[in-house]
């Protein structure tokens, strides 16, 4: 069974080397590229204040976070949730730097060692849309994912949005068989067995051909036609048609 986890964090600032800490971590589970309904979300007391710019982004005040558990109290549940899964993170280097810093304080191995692998959805987006804006908001707009609830950044909401974006971003990587929960071998077998398939050919009538020819001639006159009018294939008489009168 293919298991993936979409993960996001919120932090007090931009750099763990300056003492910035995680204040929220959240993840949603995908099974066969579909939400399973399972998710993980915890707020964390960072034991320091957020930078004013970060506070404007996430809106999590010192007063609110002061009553939350420390990272050491939530780490076991987090690592259990991601164990054995491919973890997808947007701009993975940023989140991993914070996760690794928190784990290092607890003398635990780096985050990547606790899961099956890390995929950076930002790198995927940049490869697919070079030179474009590839923030989460930009990708939501590009793929038609509704992000109107995202007035402030929240790790759980962002993980849910990224899960939708990721499926669109990688929609060509998996076969229809995987999407339907079938084995690829079963689909190949079904696709190759066409011995009993008989297709009915419905040919156009003379009247349908005349109408079709009128459209082709009109398009041809405007220079947009890539097909030229041809004789009907049902043996009916080809009747010349004039382009429609222009207004």
Residues that are catalytic: 153
What whole-number distance in Å separates Cα of residue 205 and Cα of residue 107?
A: 79
Token match 């009747």: residue? Answer: 239
**Are the C-beta atoms of 159 and 28 separated by less than 8 Å?**
yes
CA nearest neighbour of 216 among 208, 207, 206, 226: 226
CA nearest neighbour of 169 among 236, 233, 215, 124: 124
């Amino acid at each position: 069974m293919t298991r993936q986890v979409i993960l996001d964090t919120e932090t007090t600032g931009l750099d763990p080397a300056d003492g910035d800490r995680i204040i929220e971590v959240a993840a949603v589970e995908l099974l066969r590229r579909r939400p399973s309904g399972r998710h993980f979300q915890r707020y964390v007391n960072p034991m320091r204040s957020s930078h004013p710019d970060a506070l404007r982004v996430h809106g999590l005040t010192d007063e609110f976070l002061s009553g939350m558990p420390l990272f050491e109290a939530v780490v076991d549940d987090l690592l259990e949730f991601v164990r054995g899964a491919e973890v997808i993170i947007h701009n993975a280097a940023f989140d991993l730097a914070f996760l690794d810093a928190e784990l290092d304080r607890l003398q635990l191995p780096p985050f990547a060692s606790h899961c099956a692998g890390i995929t950076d959805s930002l790198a995927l987006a940049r490869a697919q849309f070079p030179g474009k804006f590839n923030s989460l908001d930009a990708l939501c707009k590009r793929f038609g994912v509704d992000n109107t609830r995202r007035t402030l950044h929240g790790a759980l909401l962002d993980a849910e949005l990224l899960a939708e974006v990721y499926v669109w971003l990688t929609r060509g990587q998996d076969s229809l068989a995987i999407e339907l929960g079938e084995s690829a071998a079963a689909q190949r077998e079904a696709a190759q067995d066409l011995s009993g398939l008989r297709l009915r050919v419905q040919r156009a009538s003379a009247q349908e051909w005349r109408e079709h020819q009128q459209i082709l001639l009109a398009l041809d006159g405007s220079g947009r036609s890539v097909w030229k009018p041809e004789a009907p294939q049902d043996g009916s008489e080809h009747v010349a048609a004039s382009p429609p009168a222009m207004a």
